Amino acid sequence: MAATILQILVTPITELAKLFVVPLKHEVGFLLKHHNNIEDLKTKTKDLELNIEATTHAIDDARRRGEATTIDIEHWRTKAQLILTDVHKFLADFGEKESGNSKTCCTNLCRRYGSSKRAVNLAKVINEIKGSFRQIPVSRPAPPPGIEMMPMGDFEAFESTRVAMEKVIEALNFRDSHVIGVYGMGGVGKTSLIKQVAKYVKIKSMFDEVVIATVSRNPDSRKIQREIAEGLGLYLMEETEHIRSLRLSERMKHETRKLIILDDVWERLELSLIGIGYGEDKSNCKVVITTRNLDVCSEMSCDVSIIVDPLSQKDSWDLFKKVVGNVSQELNSFAEEIARECGGLPLALGTLGRALRNKERKYWEDAAIELRQSRPLNIKGMHKNVFSCLKLSFDEFQNEESQMCFLYCALFRKIMMLELKIF
């Protein structure tokens, strides 16, 4: 009976002691393991520094490959660097206090207890962030470069170009203009103009996505679909054009405002077969085509058709002088005649200007005579001034081998592109 009573009295006391002794033992451990806890923190800090360095190298490598780093890895690196700053500050303060240790024993014990406990907590934070590091992807394939990053080369907005650009931008702002045609003779600068428009509307946030695809004289639907898809960050794996068009059409239904530019259109192109569909709401997508023929604008049911006129005589002369460089008084009359013969076409002016730059008088004389006498064949879509200038530039090749190489590349462009990809 007495034993039972004693057990009843002792058991609560024992349990109560456990409640105090176990935590007390844990707290005393901070004092006893003070040195070990500090050294463990230093080791873990070095490991974290190596992880941050490896992450920085991985991010740099990904960027060199053209990939985009993930937001998570950037956040991880920032958080890790902040933790590292805290640890370095703690260790620096601890070192100063250790070197100036002239305090009482009680004060010293309190300081050691506090620093040991802080070291354990910091080590625990480092362990957590190191664990999350292994689960975060460093990079992902980068989205296609934005139109606003596109270099514009020698583009200059002369008066005729500026007027056309303003009209195109005005039409893009008009709610009921869904298909806009930009037309003008070959070499007048339609492609350069429309690229500048694309860059402008993207920078001004008129559209969220701007894509340019080249159609050309013999349109390849798969190529056009691929160019549009890549511009939208979509990868088309399907082989059949119909399924590819459905996939592209589905992507086009996204709520973002899109501008699709189809450059160098020669004949009617059925937009729905490509995958450019509007659905019930046409406001999220507009299409701009460039063509040499106004009839194509009509066949494509363009809501607005805008002509790109040739440069004025003054603008032609300014552009030619800029390309060809300084023209001596002796050559000035030839230069003015050649600039006039180019018919206000930037392509012709640029081609001839580069061909005659730093050339002797006889070359200028020959060029003027050649342009006067040149009578090109009736080539559809080829303006006589452009033909004359291109032919003269072609004749400037130093030997027949260079000419034949150029013609080979022109005739078998697709084969050449394939060979370039292989090698």
Domain ranges of the chain: 18-140, 147-307, 322-422
* Residue 229 to residue 207: CA distance in whole angstroms: 17
Question: Which of the 8 DSSP states describes residue 232?
Answer: T
Q: What is the CATH number of domain 147-307?
A: 3.40.50.300
CA 400 to chain CA centroid, Å, is 41
Contacts 24+ apart (CB under 8 A), 395-403: 395/370, 396/355
Q: How far is CA 54 from CA 61, 67, 111, 135, 347, in A?
A: 10, 17, 35, 15, 50
Question: pLDDT digit of tens for each residue in the chain (423 aa)?
Answer: 555 555 555 455 554 444 444 454 556 555 667 778 888 888 888 888 888 888 888 888 877 766 777 888 888 888 889 988 988 888 887 766 665 555 555 556 677 777 777 888 888 888 888 877 777 787 776 666 665 555 555 557 788 888 999 999 999 988 888 999 999 988 888 998 999 999 888 888 888 889 999 998 888 888 998 898 888 888 888 888 888 888 888 888 877 888 999 999 999 998 888 888 754 555 578 999 999 999 999 999 999 999 999 999 999 888 888 888 888 888 888 888 888 888 888 888 888 888 888 888 888 888 788 777 765 555 455 555 556 556 656 666 666 776 677 666 655 554 444 444 433
* Residue 314 to residue 220: CA distance in whole angstroms: 40
* Residue 386 to residue 376: CA distance in whole angstroms: 10
Question: Which of the 8 DSSP states describes residue 253?
Answer: T
pLDDT at 376: 56
* Residue 76 to residue 57: CA distance in whole angstroms: 14
Longest dimension (CA), the chain: 135
* Residue 225 to residue 55: CA distance in whole angstroms: 37
pLDDT at 38: 83
